[in-house]
């Protein structure tokens, strides 16, 4: 179950960012989930929520996600969303996006002093 390690990494990234920026609260964390990651994003959200309940910095934090479709390129010049066989030449395209889980945005609150 690698969803747990992904949820933990997202939590740790958000916490480090919050502490580095003297945040008083983390409001929202946004992640993008590639189509080819083979993870269940709802499970990541559930596990993240379990972790954040222990930390007052994350009291009302929401983890949101968007799906990232596959983008691929081929040596023949094809660019598109084919995962396995280039529709132009029959070769194997290189997947350039859609295999990652990324934290794309962290919304925090800081004291204005």
Strands 79-80 and 94-97, sheet pairing: unpaired
Q: How many CB atoms lie within 10 A of CB 61?
A: 22
| Residue 21 within a domain | yes
Contact 28, 106 (CB under 8 A): yes
- Asked if residue 61 belongs to a known ligand binding site, the reply is no
The domain spanning residue 102 has which CATH number? 3.30.2320.50
Task: Give pLDDT tens digits for 59-110.
Answer: 999 999 999 999 999 999 999 999 999 999 999 999 999 999 999 999 999 9
| Residue 85 within a domain | no
**pLDDT band with cut points at 50, 70 and 90 for residue 27:** very high
* Structural domain harbouring 31: 3-69+97-110
- Asked if residue 89 belongs to a known ligand binding site, the reply is yes
Task: Give pLDDT tens digits for 2-21.
Answer: 899 999 999 999 999 999 99
What's the structural domain count of the chain?
A: 1
| Residue 33 within a domain | yes
Whole-model pTM?
0.84
Residue 1, pLDDT score? 56
| Residue 50 within a domain | yes
Cα–Cα distance between 42 and 6 in angstroms, integer?
12
Cα–Cα distance between 67 and 86 in angstroms, integer?
23
Cα–Cα distance between 70 and 75 in angstroms, integer?
17
Contact 48, 63 (CB under 8 A): yes
**pLDDT band with cut points at 50, 70 and 90 for residue 113:** low
Angle between the N-to-C axes of helices 3-20 and 41-52, in degrees from 0 to 180, rounded to the nearest 10:
50
């Amino acid at each position: 179950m690698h969803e747990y390690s992904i949820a933990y990494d997202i939590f740790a990234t958000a916490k480090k960012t919050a502490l580095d920026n003297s945040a008083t609260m983390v409001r929202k964390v946004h992640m993008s989930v590639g189509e080819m990651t083979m993870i269940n994003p709802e499970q990541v959200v559930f596990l993240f929520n379990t972790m954040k309940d222990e930390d007052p910095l994350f009291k009302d934090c929401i983890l949101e996600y968007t799906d990232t479709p596959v983008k691929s390129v081929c040596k023949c010049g094809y660019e598109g969303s084919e995962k396995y066989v280039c529709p132009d030449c029959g070769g194997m395209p290189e997947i350039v996006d859609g295999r990652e889980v990324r934290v794309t945005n962290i919304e925090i609150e800081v004291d204005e002093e």
